[in-house]
Amino acid sequence: MLTATCALAVLASVAPPDRTADIVRFKEKVMRADYAGDLTALDDLYRQGSVYLDDQANASRTRYWIGYAKWRRAINGFNETPTPKWLQADIESAFKEFQASLEIDSTYVESKIAAVSCVGLTYFFSGGKATTKEGQDDLAKKAEYARKLVPDIRKDDPDNPRWAWIWAQQLSVSPSDKGGGRDAAINLCLKSLEQMEKRRAPKSPLEPTWGKPELMMNVAYYYANMPPLDLPKAKDYAVQALKIVPYWHYMKDILLVQIETKIKKGT
């Protein structure tokens, strides 16, 4: 019979679980549900992800993908009609996961990028306003948090395509005399698409590699919605994105339909 001391020694010698393969499958499910626009699956996967956190070596990346499920659920939800009422709650949940990821690994650029996006979406969904003093303080706190992350992203991984995807959205609504506007946003996306071809593949399968179809989506959207419109180019980029992800709900069922409708109307 083992003594208590021996039992503790045996437990201490047991290596922590390596759940990498399981987490990769989880990541793939989350990404597929995102592209499919499956809001129910994204919500379920968000809740299921915590079972993989016992793999401490991968915890920061697991937190990223758990947060990703809620982040993308909110983005997908915004494109649905009628607009769901839970968008802000989902972004808040996602933001907390990205913060948790950074508490584990403060250098993780991908979670910094996602956290900045969540702050931007918080402002967008709320109109930059809050009805209470507590809400106003929370918005200000989040904005300061994001401002501190941006220099790190630009220093550590300035050519990151996920960052280009997010920053282009900010550029597109910024004044042209301050370096923003449609053309600036499109040029950033096109430059990032070129740079993606030169980026090295990540060492871990848990790292995000998405970005190419998303950048194409940005370009398609800008050409289709921001003057001067260029609908043939918009359709071309939309079709290119669908060749990469044929089942992308937003691109196939929403944006491309909008572009083709405008082409038929001659607008």
Tell which wins on pLDDT, 252 or 12.
252
Same domain, 137 and 166: no
Q: Is the pLDDT of residue 12 over 80?
A: no
The structure's pTM equals: 0.92
In tens, the pLDDT along 218-228 reads 999 999 999 99
> Which of the listed residues 102, 122, 156 is the one where a domain comes to its end?
156
Angle between helices 39-48 and 59-78 (to 10 degrees): 160
Q: What CATH number does the domain containing 209 carry?
A: 1.25.40
**Domain-located, residue 9:** no
Q: Percentage of the chain with pLDDT > 90?
A: 83
Using CA atoms, how far residue 189 sits from 138, 172, 264, in Å, is 31, 11, 27
The two structure tokens encoding residue 82: 């009628």
Number of domains making up the chain: 2
In tens, the pLDDT along 55-87 reads 999 999 999 999 999 999 999 999 988 889 999
Same domain, 146 and 184: no
Q: Is the pLDDT of residue 125 over 90?
A: no
Range of weakest confidence among 28-37, 46-55, 118-127: 118-127
